Amino acid sequence: MKVATTAEMRAMDRYAIETLGIPDEILMENAGIAAYYALAGETDIAGRRFAVLCGGGNNGGDGFVVARKIHSGGGIVKVFLLAEKSRYKGAARKNLEMLLNLAVDVRPVESADDVRSYLLQSHAVVDALFGTGLDRSVEGLHREVIELVNALGKPVFSLDIPSGINGDTGAVMGTAVRAAATVTFGLPKRGNLLYPGFLFGGKLFVTHISFPPELCDSDQIRMEVNDPPPLPGRVPWGHKGDFGDVLFVAGAAGYYGAPAFSALSFLKAGGGYSRLAAPASVIQGIASRAGEIVFVPQRETASGSIALRNKSALLELAGRVDLVVLGPGLSLAEETQKLVRELAAKIEKPILIDGDGITAVAKNPRFLKKRRYETVLTPHASEMARITGQSVDAIEKDPVGILRDTAGALDSVIVLKGAHTLIGMPDGRVFINMSGNSGMATAGSGDVLTGAIGAMFGLGLPLQEAVRAGVFIHGLAGDLVAAGKGEDGITARDVMEGLPKAVAMVRAGDLGEIAEKKGLYLI
């Protein structure tokens, strides 16, 4: 499913009205009807009290339609206007007039006290104050009303996006409605899915409100939800080499978990042949609990990291495998950091750079663009800051834009890890991943992700699709663990052990209730 900016959504509206000849009255009617049916699916209507809070734009007009439908469905509804009646134009004006003709109680609001009493009596609140185009901080009367709504704790159903959330960034513009559910129109907006906006939206329903599929699926919209691609079948007569041969260059003195989790997770997610090039002393500490890995002992620096003099042998071995992973637990020893940079520049195979490997290449990442083979980077926000030279704050404010620019500049696939991980492709496409949970913010989780991506490539997916599949499956594995034991106390090992079931669910195409809770509801 595509994910739109507010500008892209406005363009879709204009195209539907001006080119397709769909009147704005029909679009507003469809939006309101969709919102009403989402509301009716979550709570009884007849005999219940509802407050509809309407701002001065088309979002308020959508609220008028919902109010009319509640009225016709036997609900008791009052509409509160936080704008002068003269501000309503076009379709919104017509729907306001219909409400008045039906003798629905429509009241202007001058202070939060004007709505307090009825809100206390209401079963639920419909939020139609602001749409997705909010670009200023919420102040004055609107702020007072939003804070009152949140304080009372009534179920809130927001139209398009919770009022106060920026439609493009998900940022809270001073204050914002905390909704139990949101019905968004046409396509989900970035602000519906990006944090912190996603936290405020509750259950997210999506309706196309008469937009044809070719409009919603337009190639001009370059962001979409990361739905996992179908996985290749396993050849019944295949041997380990048929399911991927991946070399992990990882580990250093004191860093045993990262190399073990990355190399083992590759096998747990379905990969065939996992080679771990690590310092000889590190291998001794891993071999007893990870005998499935093929170990390639490396000569060490004085600090216990992989020495530069291993370069020639590693380059020769890299030429015989399908993918090389550089970085998990390698340390920041300068000699090893230099080794990573030289390997990344000279390996003539796809590479995935993670962890300490990212720190190594971040000093001058532009050389990655010269590589003949595909490159994948898996930074978190701090590592992305090193790659780009921008602050973490800047990245958090514009993750999609910075990710897109950087992936293009480096001709690399970049996985920006975090809540709702973003995947940036060199051609400008960005995917937002909906699987995963906060319990996965634990040491070693990123190493499990690295192994999962490697496995998807080993199974036969093209590398870009392998990245998408690996990110989704890694998150799903974490969700399966959380469903069983809660989010507190999840370890990287737990996530790794959840990989086989997650892969099986994706293969079956039946992600079940767990995945549905992370997805979008189409109405």
pLDDT digits over 49-77, tens only? Answer: 999 999 999 999 999 999 999 999 999 99
Better pLDDT: 342 or 519? 342
Q: What is the number of residues in the chain?
A: 523
Question: Distance between CA atoms of 124 and 143, rounded to whole angstroms?
Answer: 19
Confidence of residue 517 (pLDDT cuts 50, 70, 90): low
How far is 130 from 366, CA to CA, in rounded Å? 43
pLDDT band at 237 (very low <50, low <70, confident <90, very high): confident
- Whether 240-513 and 6-221 are alike in CATH topology: the answer is no
Q: What is the mean pLDDT of residues 196-209?
A: 94
User: Cα separation of 71 and 103, whole Å?
Assistant: 10
Look at residue 235 and tell me whether its pLDDT is greater than 90. no
- Map out the domains of the chain as residue ranges: 6-221, 240-513
Instruction: Supply the pLDDT for residue 256.
Output: 94
The pLDDT value recorded for residue 281 is: 94
Q: Are 147 and 176 in contact (CB under 8 A)?
A: no
Closest by CA position to 324, among listed 384, 266, 389, 246 = 246
Considering just the CA atoms, what is the radius of gyration of the chain in Å?
26
**Do the Cβ atoms of 328 and 259 come closer than 8 Å?**
yes
Q: Give the pLDDT score at 523.
A: 65
The pairing of beta strand 521-522 with beta strand 203-207: parallel
Q: What is the pLDDT of residue 519?
A: 61
Give the pLDDT confidence score for residue 515 in this predicted structure: 61
Structure tokens at 21: 């000849």
What is the per-residue pLDDT across 286-307, written as a single tens digit (0 to 9) for each?
A: 998 888 999 999 999 999 999 9
The top-level CATH class assigned to 240-513 is alpha beta
pLDDT tens digits, one per residue of 454-504 = 999 999 999 999 999 999 999 999 999 999 999 999 999 999 999 999 999
Q: Which residues contact 294 (CB under 8 A, 6 or more apart)?
A: 273, 274, 275, 276
Distance CA 138, CA 163 (A): 9
Mean pLDDT of the 109-134 span: 96
The whole-number pLDDT of residue 51 equals 98
Task: Kindly report, residue by residue over 402-449, the tens digit of the pLDDT.
Answer: 999 999 999 999 999 999 999 999 999 999 999 999 999 999 999 999
Q: Is the pLDDT of residue 522 over 80?
A: no
| Phi-psi category of residue 489: left, alpha or beta, with phi > 0 → left and psi -120 to 50 → alpha | left
Percent of the chain with pLDDT strictly greater than 70 = 98
Looking at the domain that runs over 6-221, which CATH code has it been given? Answer: 3.40.50.10260
Determine the pLDDT at residue 516. Answer: 63
3-class state of residue 489 by DSSP? coil
Of 44-48, 210-214, 347-351, give the lowest mean pLDDT range.
210-214
Q: Taking residues 174-189, what's their average pLDDT?
A: 97
What pLDDT digit, counting tens, does each position of 3-30 carry? 999 999 999 999 999 999 999 999 999 9
E strands, 395-435, in order: 413-416, 422-424, 430-432
- Stretch 381-407: mean pLDDT: 96
Check whether 149 has a pLDDT greater than 90: yes
**pLDDT, the chain, mean:** 95
Amino acid at 336: T
Residue 92: its pLDDT value, please?
Answer: 97
